[in-house]
Amino acid sequence: MRVVTKSLVATGAACTVLLAGCSSSDSGGGSGAEGELSGEVTMWTYPVIADEPAHQAFWDEQIEAFTAEHPDVTVKVEIYPWAGRDESLTTAIASQTAPDAVYLIPDQLATYQSSIEPIDDYLSDEHKADLLENVRDSITVDGQMLGSPILTSANPLVCDKAAFDAIGVSEYPTTWDDLMDVAPALKEQGIYATNYWGSPEVTLNMTFYPLLWQAGGDVFNDDGTEVAFDSEAGEQALQYLVDLNEGGYLEPDLITTTPSIEQTALAQNKVACTWQSGPADVEPYWGTENIVIQPPLTESETIGYGTVGSLSMLAGSDAKDATGAWIDFVTSADPVKEYVTTAKMFSPLTSTGELYADDPVYGAIEQTIPDTTVGPVNEHAREVMGVLAPEIQAALLGQKSAEQALQDAAASADAMLG
């Protein structure tokens, strides 16, 4: 069930709220008397803040502050469930009932690029300069910013202190070799060095791609016309996983199944380190006192996955000036700081400073934000995952060599890319 947050300034008749949302096409928008902004702005977002009343209260507060500055603008924020969000947005765009602004993550930016109005000219120079470099890169396609970031996340290496206590080790792995070196001692105690969710429906952004990036590889070539994972770096990354699995250092059931987390070895304190689960996932089982945050593992590079949530303006909006002003306002430092700390996420801005300095877990994750990437911003990213993931699984099951698996995946992917 979605929550609809309406503006506190009623400057016009409200349109009926349907599943597809309200279009701004009949609302007008632009500058009123003496250059004042006017119009109706509708924005779609999703439950980033899990507490529904807190999420609604945040947007109520921002709308009140914005409309105090721009009383001739009406803003509506509609909160939809995560499930089916692409289907709903695609339908709305096709039927010209799309919102003016929408919350998107990077792999959606490439998908909807033709329907997005670049935000560059609507953000102040100070705002753009405030963005972390890797964050700005993540929402820039063909030299244009397709959204204004409101949050980031990070998947660093999360280790279980109890597992390392069990083998008498107080130093945690920082490299691939470090993890492999402690794997035999952990195995003797019935503990897996790490886990790998190998079922094809699991996103590679959080499983295989971090290893690919750490080896110095990438998913696509520079212009995105061909895949690049069938490289020496890709083979090195996949062979590392195969070696872990053949050594008995990975939980075997996860290669083919996706059980709930409470049914896994991780929930039994039998996984030493993971980059695929965060503190909130493991805390109920490990306890906060056993959570140790490390930077992403290093091979030739230190890099991990982290997403960026942005507010994008859709090209069909008839209230672009008002929408741009709203996006600029709500993705600036003060709203961002409140939003991310309430959601237990992280800031995309340098000016917000350290938000979790007093929290040993989230403060440590915050330090890893510059070492993250969102992965490929390519319209075919999800399709490529669809052909690569089963081949990785085949290599882990011993059905193909790492080299053959990647070559077969690349042949399928490049044929698809045309």
Q: What are phi and psi of 325, to 5 degrees?
A: -65, -40
8 Å CB contact between 347 and 355:
yes
Model pLDDT, residue 107: 87
Model pLDDT, residue 418: 77
Q: 39-154+306-373 with 157-305+377-415: one CATH topology?
A: yes
172 Cβ neighbours under 8 A, 6+ residues apart: 157, 159, 164, 178, 273, 292, 294
**CATH homologous superfamily for the domain 39-154+306-373:** Periplasmic binding protein-like II (3.40.190.10)
217-268: per-residue pLDDT in tens? 999 999 889 999 999 999 999 999 999 999 999 999 999 999 999 999 999 9
Model pLDDT, residue 8: 28
Identify any residues that bridge with 79 across adjacent strands, giving them in sequence order: 3, 45
Neighbours of 125 (CB within 10 A): 7
8 Å CB contact between 17 and 78:
yes
Helix axes of 333-343 and 52-69: crossing angle, nearest 10 degrees: 170
DSSP assignment, residue 267? G
Q: What are phi and psi of 76, to 5 degrees?
A: -125, 130
Amino acid at 411: A
313 Cβ neighbours under 8 A, 6+ residues apart: 100, 101, 116, 117, 119, 122, 320, 323, 324, 327
353-389: per-residue pLDDT in tens? 999 999 999 999 999 999 999 998 888 999 999 999 9
Q: Is residue 302 pLDDT above 60, yes or no?
A: yes
As given in the structure block, the two tokens for residue 95 are 């039927």
61-106: per-residue pLDDT in tens? 999 999 999 999 999 999 999 999 999 999 999 999 999 999 999 9
Model pLDDT, residue 35: 52
How far apart CA 274 and CA 192 sit, in angstroms, is: 10
> Span 157-305+377-415: which CATH code?
3.40.190.10
Domain ranges of the chain: 39-154+306-373, 157-305+377-415
Model pLDDT, residue 123: 97
DSSP assignment, residue 331? T
Q: Mean pLDDT over residues 322-328, rounded?
A: 98
Neighbours of 6 (CB within 10 A): 16
Q: What are phi and psi of 30, to 5 degrees?
A: 150, -140
Q: Kindly indicate the confidence band of residue 25, based on its pLDDT and cuts at 50, 70 and 90.
A: very low
Q: Is residue 17 pLDDT above 70, yes or no?
A: no
Average pLDDT of every residue of the chain: 91
